[in-house]
Amino acid sequence: MLVSWAICTVGTIVVAVSPNVYVVAAGMFLCGCGCDAGINICFFFFGEVVGDEKRQKYSVTVQIFFCLGAIIITLFFYLINSWRINWIILVTAPTIL
């Protein structure tokens, strides 16, 4: 799982410092490969390891935070016009942390 998040982090940094659309595409590919694997591993971990009483609650909580994240990202794009600044604040900084 750490390898997938490392790939995602490298991809977000590549997108943040990219000089053209081709480098952005390569960075987005790395982000997709790394992030998708990491998120699925965490979600399946909740499904397999957590007891029956808390499994549904944790799964729904994770899905709620995905929706809240989408709302926050949309709000940031209304407030800040630069996609690069939004990318650094909303994607790169959290993956590094």
- How does pLDDT run across 26-52, given as a tens digit for each residue? 999 998 888 888 778 877 777 778 777
Q: Are 16 and 84 in contact (CB under 8 A)?
A: yes
> How does pLDDT run across 47-73, given as a tens digit for each residue?
778 777 787 888 788 889 889 988 998
Give the DSSP H or E segment for 15. Answer: helix 2-16
The one-letter amino acid code at 44 reads: F
Percent helix, strand and coil across the chain, each rounded to 5? 90, 0, 10
**pTM for the structure as a whole:** 0.74
Spatial neighbors of 2 by CB under 8 A, at least 6 apart, are none
What are the extents of the domains in the chain? Answer: 2-96
Helix or strand run (H / E) with residue 17:
none
